Amino acid sequence: MKIIMLGAPGAGKGTQAKMIAEKYQIPHVSTGDIFRANIKNGTELGMEAKKYMDQGQLVPDELTVKILLDRVAQADCANGYVLDGFPRTIPQAEVLDKALTELGESIDYAVDVNVPDENIVRRMSGRRACLACGATYHIAHIPPKKEGICDTCGQELVLRDDDKPETVLKRLQVYHEQTQPLIDFYTAKGVLRTVDGTVDMKDVFGAIVSILEG
C-alpha cells in the first residue's frame, strides 16, 4: 500500500500520515526526515543535498527523488509506505511517477485532507509554542492551564512567526499555486481520494481507513 498525503500546511496531513503508518505497520516517510538522516549519516546523496541546502537553494527534484527511492527501497517499506511532504509540485510528481514505473510500481492512493483556507488560518493562528522546552498548545483545543504560560516549564508561550495569519496566508498562496495542481494530476491517474479535514481528527482518520479498506 503506497500512499501520498496531500493537503495545505496546517490541514493535519502529517498527523494522519503517522496514524496510518501506525495502524498498517508501514513507514511514515517524510522528506525532511530523510534529508536529515542522510546528511547526519554522511551518505553520498546526503552530502550532495547538503551542498544545495547550505547555499539556501532547493534540492533539485531528481536528487530528492533519488534520496526518496533509496529510502523506500529499504526492507521496512516492502509492504508499502506513507509519503508526507512529497511531491509538492507537478515536476516532482512526474519524476516520482517515472521512477516508480521503471521499478514496476505505482502509487495506490493520493489522499487529500481538504480544509478551507479560513479554517487553516484560524487553526494555525491559535497555536502557541514554548521556545524553552518545545511544548505546543492551542488556545481553543489544547490550552495551557494558565493563559500564556507553559504547563511543563513555566516559560512564556509565543505565537511563532510561521503561525501568524499573514505568514499562513502566504504559505497557502504558494500551496495553491504549486501543490494544488497535484489534485488534478492524481485525479487523472484515478488514485485521488478526498476527505473532509474540518471534522475531528479521529473522524478524518476513520474516513481514510474506509478508503484504504474499501
Regions of the chain short of the pLDDT cut 70:
none
pLDDT value of residue 206? 97
Residue 155 DSSP symbol? P
Distance CA 76, CA 44 (A): 21
Domain extent listing, the chain: 2-115+180-213
In this predicted structure, what is the pLDDT of residue 195?
A: 97
Q: Which of 16-50 are b and which e, b meaning 16 or more Cβ less than 10 Å from the residue's Cβ?
A: bbebbbeebebbbbbbeebbeebbeeeeebbebbe
Q: pTM for the full model?
A: 0.84
Question: Per-residue pLDDT tens for 96-105?
Answer: 999 899 989 9
Give per-residue pLDDT as tens, 47-72. Answer: 999 998 888 888 888 899 899 999 99
Catalytic annotation on 171?
yes
pLDDT value of position 93: 94
SS3 content of the chain, % helix, strand, coil (to 5): 50, 15, 35
193 is catalytic: no
Residue of 66, 71, 88, 193 marked active site: 88
Active-site annotation holder among 123, 127, 128, 193: 127
Domain 2-115+180-213, CATH: 3.40.50.300
Instruction: Please say if 160 is a catalytic residue.
Output: yes
Based on the number of CB atoms within 10 Å of its own CB, is 200 exposed (0-12), middle (13-18) or buried (19 or more)? exposed
